[in-house]
Amino acid sequence: MATTTTISQVGEFPLISSMVGDLTMGQAVTLGPGDDGAVFQVDGSAVVSTDVLVEEVHFRRRWSTATDVGRKAVAVNVSDIEAMGAVPVALVVGFSAPGDLPASWAREFMAGMTAESQKAGVSVVGGDTTGGPVVSIAVTVIGQTAGMAPVRRDGAVPGDEVAVIGQLGLAAAGLALLGRGFRSPRAVVAAQRCPEVPYGQGRVAAKAGVHAMIDVSDGLLADLGHIAEASGFAMDIDTAKLDITESVRTVGMATGVDPLTWVLAGGEDHALAATFAPGTVPDGWTVVGRVLPPDEAPDPTVLVDGQVWQQERGWTHFHS
């Protein structure tokens, strides 16, 4: 009977060596893993963002492969850099796991990170490992503004068009399926395991003069709500303009859930949502609403078809 080699049997430094052996560095990186710190060049201001993924909160090993988790760790972090209109340059990862974790899982996790980082155009330049009760991953991404101002959340103004790029509702539909023990439609399950971030579109939006932008991690209404609150103006979403994919509709029918709730409040899709001056929305983006003047809606909230949305608006941690 074959035995599984665990990370405790391999040891910390041999494990690290096996995890970083296939990494390649971008042109901006002058010193990658192996020293006390990484060294890289940044064009303009540096933009930094951190996300944490915890087993049984953000992923489940029985649902996702190690490669899926590695890809997701990169994707959910780089999407924040995209939302700032910046270009991702480098990332570091903190990896904590129980000693009985198969060493092969750690290597496959790193293979997933490597594949997704290449797709996103970012270099994995270092990190740290430690022991812990469950698999926990903390990733910090550094981006560069490269001659442009960072895009903030507080720039929306009345008359702006609200637009999105990337698919909405798939990750939540996938979670509903996985929770019921199903594995298809594959599109929604894949979106839950690792989101398809619209890489490069944050920069496209910045060059188009975007006023405010955010990545849709907690749900469209919740995240647009952050823009509304920061900018001081309300928005109105026209649900007739939202794209509800056939796979999301299929899962909604099978589970008895209105698919619109996943599109508006599902979260974890990591699409981009932004506001633009009329006529400046880039190709590929879909206009789904507008920013309202104070005389139409005095409170900085997000309306749905002109009405207050009465259901859940998105995900929050530490809720009761």
Annotated binding site for substrate: 58, 268, 315
Q: Which residues are CB-neighbours of 126 under 8 A, at least 6 positions away? A: 32, 33, 37, 38, 92
Give the pLDDT score at 58.
Answer: 92
Residue bearing the bigger pLDDT, 275 or 128? 275
Choose one of 142, 169, 190: the last residue of a domain. 142
Token pair for 111: 């293979």
- Asked if 223 contacts 269 with a C-beta cutoff of 8 angstroms, the reply is no
Question: Which CATH number do you get for residue 284?
Answer: 3.90.650.10
Residue type, 207: K
Same domain, 127 and 178: no
Same domain, 170 and 111: no
Whether residue 254 is contained in a domain is answered as yes
Same domain, 173 and 246: yes
Q: How far is CA 174 from CA 53, 137, 290, 296, in A?
A: 18, 22, 29, 37
Whether residue 234 is contained in a domain is answered as yes
Name the phi and psi angles at 236, rounded to 5.
Answer: -130, 125
Whether residue 284 is contained in a domain is answered as yes
Annotated binding site for ATP: 127-128, 153, 217
Whether residue 316 is contained in a domain is answered as no
Annotated binding site for Mg(2+): 36, 49-51, 80, 128, 215, 218
Residues paired with 303 in a beta bridge: 236
Same domain, 57 and 184: no
In 3-state terms, the chain is what percent helix, strand and coil (to 5)?
35, 25, 40
Give the pLDDT score at 52.
Answer: 96
> Domain tally for the chain?
2
Asked which of 55-64, 208-217, 273-282 is least confident by mean pLDDT, the reply is: 55-64
Same domain, 167 and 253: yes
Same domain, 171 and 280: yes
Please check the confidence at residue 30 and state whether its pLDDT lies above 80. yes
Structural domain boundaries enclosing 77: 10-142
Give the pLDDT score at 1.
Answer: 45
Token pair for 318: 């530490």
Whether residue 149 is contained in a domain is answered as no
Same domain, 164 and 136: no
Same domain, 87 and 223: no
- Asked if 235 contacts 293 with a C-beta cutoff of 8 angstroms, the reply is no
Choose one of 108, 142, 176: the last residue of a domain. 142
Same domain, 225 and 130: no
Annotated binding site: 36, 49-51, 58, 80, 127-128, 153, 215, 217-218, 268, 315
Name the phi and psi angles at 173, rounded to 5.
Answer: -65, -40
Same domain, 163 and 301: yes
Choose one of 142, 172, 189: the last residue of a domain. 142
Give the pLDDT score at 319.
Answer: 43
Question: Which CATH number do you get for residue 93?
Answer: 3.30.1330.10
Q: Which of 285, 146, 119 is nearest to 208 (CA)?
A: 285
Model confidence pLDDT, tens digit, residues 66-106: 999 999 999 999 999 999 999 999 999 999 999 999 999 99
